[in-house]
Structure 1
């Protein structure tokens, strides 16, 4: 079955990836890991434990936000930004050396009036309700930041590298500024970005991933390739997440591919191999989630990565 991207001008590489995703639905799950530092300790940990690499690697763009308030930020924030510097070099290396799947998470520092970790609502006075209205200073700041990030993504587009693009993640919550005024505003922000990146910047290498399980504020099938949600079950709880899957696929009118955008303890790959709940991928979050046994034991990780149902990097075909 051929997949039709939401962007009619999507690149052949995007179409190749989406077609592959349709082929593997219910026959396997793509293993993924988020990283946010140059050291990428999480990837090395997985390889040391399992002898395998994940097929999908997530990278963090927070340090590339153009409006970080260095003068009014705490040590923890400054360290996080410093450790994230130049991680795009690792993203290049990942795609060129491994041919693996690539996704970005952008903890977007507030376009205006931010302090410390201003991607959190509590650290900014940015009025996101005004940011969806043309002519306001908030709208101009929003577009300026979007354009800044588009220029960073441009090189990946020029080199025809497909990106699983998951903007305004966890849009159902109020903890990030983009969700602070409710999911309806977050929906409009996403649509503004989609129009800007697709029709103005022509970033035709993006695969558009919506990230929220709520029916309220769902952005619309016309601008989404894949639906996803983030989940953090209790430590060492590993299931096939059937209930969560059924909730997520209920948000769309037409069937969509579904993925686990972020997770703490990994899902049970053994259970999935039996139930065949068609999660497309999972991406374990970074730091203690991905480099210690606090949430997933080495035994569970090893068992998952060696299950026939798990799609690791060595099983991934050349897609771009």
Structure 2
């Protein structure tokens, strides 16, 4: 199960900090698991909850970038959408604090309001007329606006690059489904969107601090080993179901014969760290989702949360070595 993983980054110009993180993850694979928690507001109630219950913090913190989308249609948005955007503003400030002062790992999720044609929560395909299949074609208005949005986000990421802060970058997540506009036109289109971003960010913008995380178990849409450092999937088991997710691991690793690092990009419940310590399914991190998933007992009891964070197999913030 635990074959040796080549930690070399897919980007041959990747920073030394990226190389250090990938070396660490490859050495950790099958020997431990990084605890992670997504937060989508500046309040970060999930971190407070975890610390209150366990006395510890996760080694990896996830941050949401939806409010940084440059084309939010405020004039045609529900109250729920407006509240979500407002509460999400300034989350990059939290990311800076986590990276510079807490010295933890960071990962970004971008629920990207479409470049045009959206209303309400415009990252959902049902709320936009934006056609991703036209966006991969040079010369179209969709392509032009897609690149403009990519460039907008790249400028926000550049300061992290200048400070040599590595980012676990997980773009176009859950592209195996049709619920987001980037997956609505099928896996091949989503694959091309990702590869466009990879070239734009590595070649044009020189964002050599990004660790590229592919997030789909669909073999038809796999982006390729040459543009991906980590393969991951999102999974939401039934409430209070804590396992090693071995079936999901087998499904994910079937997308490529290469021995890639594997991660649980999103999960609704905390995995079973005691079980993982026995089976050694080599997930290198998990990231519990936000709100009730990560800040209540609705999905994971306090007892189970403590069991996970106290287990020797778990890498919490206090156990994370300084990597940058």
TM-score by length of 2: 0.98
Task: State the match for 1:95 in structure 2.
Answer: 99
Residue equivalent to 2:266: 262
Deviations along 1:168-192, one digit per CA (max 9) or x if unpaired, are 0001000000000111100000000
Q: Counterpart in 2 of 1:54?
A: 58
Residue matched to 1:317: 321
Cα separation, 2, equivalents of 1:189 and 1:119: 15
For 1:305, the equivalent position in structure 2 comes to: 309
Query: How far apart, CA to CA, are the structure 2 residues paired with 1:237 and 1:91?
Result: 30
What SS class does the counterpart of residue 290 from structure 2 fall into? coil
* 1:251-290 alignment runs, 5 A limit: 251-290=255-294
Pick from 219, 224, 237 the counterpart of residue 223 of structure 2: 219
- Structure 2 segments unaligned to the other structure (5+ residues): none
Give distance in 2, aligned partners of 1:70 and 1:93: 29
RMSD: 0.7
The 3-state SS of whatever aligns with 1:261 is: strand
Distance 1:287 1:151 in 2: 29
- The 5 Å alignment of 1:74-153 reads 74-153=78-157
> Structure 1 residue 229 and structure 2 residue 233: aligned?
yes
Cα offset, 1:253, TM superposition: 2.6
Specify the alignment match of 1:4 in structure 2. Answer: 8
Asked if 1:21 is matched to 2:25, the reply is yes
Task: Verify: 1:63 aligned to 2:67, yes or no.
Answer: yes
Count of paired positions? 320
Match of 2:193 in 1: 189
- In the TM superposition, structure 1's runs of 4+ consecutive aligned residues that sit over 2 Å from their partners are none
1:293 aligns with 2:297: yes
Q: CA deviation at 1:222?
A: 0.3
Which ranges of structure 1 fall in alignment gaps of 5 or more residues? none
Q: What is aligned with 2:253?
A: 249
1:2-33 per-residue CA deviation (whole Å, 9 max, x = no partner) reads: 62100000000000000000111111000000
Secondary structure of 1:216's counterpart equals helix
Cα separation, 2, equivalents of 1:182 and 1:293: 36
Find out whether 1:38 has 2:42 as its counterpart.
Answer: yes
Asked if structure 2 preserves the Cα contact closer than 8 Å seen for 1:221 and 1:253, the reply is no
Match of 2:174, SS? coil
Deviates most, 2-11 or 239-248 = 2-11
- Contact 1:35/1:286 (<8 A) preserved: yes
Q: Classify the secondary structure of the residue corresponding to 1:130.
A: helix
Q: For the residues of structure 2 that align with 1:178 and 1:235, how far apart are their CA atoms? A: 29
Give the Cα–Cα distance (whole angstroms) in 2 for the partners of residues 6 and 312 of structure 1. Answer: 27
Deviation at 1:96, TM superposition (A): 1.0
How far apart, CA to CA, are the structure 1 residues paired with 2:44 and 2:75? 28
TM-score normalized by the length of structure 1: 0.99
> Aligned equivalents of 1:216 and 1:254: distance in 2?
16
Aligned partners of 1:93, 1:215: CA distance in 2, in Å? 37
